[in-house]
Homo-oligomer: A and B are copies of this chain.
Amino acid sequence: MINIGLIGYGYWGPNLARNFAETEGVHLAAIADTSADRRDAAARRHRGVPVCGDAASVIARDDLDAIVIATPLETHYPLAKAAVERGKHVLVEKPLAGSRTEAEALGALADKRDVRLMVDHTFVYNGAVRRIRALIDSGDLGELLYLDSVRVNLGLFQQDSNVIWDLAAHDFSIMDYLIDARPVAVSADGTAAAGFNQESVAYVSVHFDNGFLAHFHVSWLAPVKMRQMLLGGQQRMLVYDDTNPSEKVRVYDNGVDFDVKDDETRRQILISYRTGDMHAPKLDRREALSLVAREFADSIEQRRAPLTDAAAGARVVALLEAAEVSLRAQGQRIRL
């Protein structure tokens, strides 16, 4: 039985608590939050679980094997560091830390203490995203050409960071999982709503050395919620629409052949407007977060790195940092 303490019961913490409470082999043994209101909410939902206001006392408890951190970004590093130093396995809400340096330091520390350090890149455990990875692995899509992502809503403004740190972290983690090529440069543009210092609408391009291009539109200022990703391959292309209740992933035959042999024909090619068949595979509909909880527990029991380990967390943070530098430099392309 793995005894777990949860620090942070704000927006995401309740989901983590619920999922760990229902994970076999795991016992939710402590919840901490600095807000009295949130502690009341935790106590009401999780009778019998001790609730306190003090993260340090939870980390200090000898009977806890692992700590789950779902607090504001600036506290990720100190809390995770303290927990790892105390010999706890740690799961940290995304993004792993506020800088690549911190993220990599946490990874090194966890290696040294031989504990598991995992980042909650929830979407990597989503049935749709895992199905897309399987489609890529099967070769059905052909060579990959581009990824285009839109994640927008009229949303909850973060006060201390821009929309990229809030929303693009999800998309970068999906890209990190799906695309084997490595990114080499990042550029970003954005604008702030009147009266705000931080960008609330932003666009990020990520360039890869093999010519692959990824582009991200994130916004807190859209009239409607949209969660849409296009992934284009030489053979097939797909749309992943996370707001579509029944057909989240649709795979389209291109109906065109780009792979013309002689250069002359290639340039002359007139690609027809038509599209081929479409196919929407059945997806695993289990809650992604339940698989996050399962993977954290399994990685502890099996003494192995989790799928979304500190290295993945650091790669995502590196992209976020680079995007922010580009934002401050008029969209200049920043090499990674």
Choose among B232, B270, B280 the residue that contacts A222 (Cβ–Cβ < 8 A).
Answer: B232
A77 at the interface (CB under 8 A from B): no
Among the stretches A88-96, A151-159, A312-320, the one at the interface with B is A151-159
In the complex, the answer to whether A215 meets B189 with C-beta atoms within 8 Å is: yes
Among the stretches A98-106, A109-117, A192-200, the one at the interface with B is A192-200
- Interface residues in A164-193 by Cβ distance below 8 A to B read 187, 189-193
Contacts of A12 in B (CB 8 A): none
Contacts of A281 in B (CB 8 A): 277
Among the stretches A57-65, A67-75, A244-252, A287-295, the one at the interface with B is A244-252
In the complex, the answer to whether A211 meets B232 with C-beta atoms within 8 Å is: no
In the complex, the answer to whether A205 meets B331 with C-beta atoms within 8 Å is: yes
Contact flags (1/0) for A37-51 with B, using CB distance below 8 Å?
000000011111000
Interface centre among A44, A213, A219, A225, by most chain B C-beta atoms within 10 angstroms, is A213
A217 at the interface (CB under 8 A from B): yes
Among the stretches A78-86, A118-126, A255-263, A303-311, the one at the interface with B is A255-263
Docked CA distance A273–B332 (Å) = 32
In the complex, the answer to whether B278 meets A280 with C-beta atoms within 8 Å is: yes
Choose among B195, B236, B269 the residue that contacts A266 (Cβ–Cβ < 8 A).
Answer: B195
A238 at the interface (CB under 8 A from B): yes
A282 at the interface (CB under 8 A from B): yes
The smallest beta-carbon distance between A102 and chain B, in angstroms, is: 25
**CB nearest neighbor in B for A48:** B47
Contacts of A201 in B (CB 8 A): 145-146, 148, 213, 232
A243 at the interface (CB under 8 A from B): yes
Docked CA distance A46–B22 (Å) = 11
Contacts of A274 in B (CB 8 A): 154, 282, 285
Known: A157-B269, A225-B245, A245-B225. A258 touches B195 (CB 8 A): yes
A6 at the interface (CB under 8 A from B): no
Interface centre among A145, A212, A243, A260, by most chain B C-beta atoms within 10 angstroms, is A145
A333 at the interface (CB under 8 A from B): yes
The smallest beta-carbon distance between A42 and chain B, in angstroms, is: 13
In the complex, the answer to whether B195 meets A260 with C-beta atoms within 8 Å is: yes
Contacts of A256 in B (CB 8 A): 154
Docked CA distance A175–B49 (Å) = 45
The 5 A-B pairs at the shortest CB distance, nearest first, are namely: A223-B237, A223-B252, A278-B280, A191-B213, A195-B266
* Contacts A/B (CB < 8 Å), 29 sampled: A22-B45, A145-B201, A150-B150, A153-B273, A154-B256, A156-B272, A157-B269, A157-B270, A159-B267, A159-B268, A187-B189, A189-B207, A190-B213, A194-B258, A195-B263, A215-B217, A223-B236, A223-B239, A224-B275, A225-B246, A243-B245, A246-B275, A246-B278, A253-B282, A255-B282, A274-B285, A277-B279, A280-B280, A332-B332
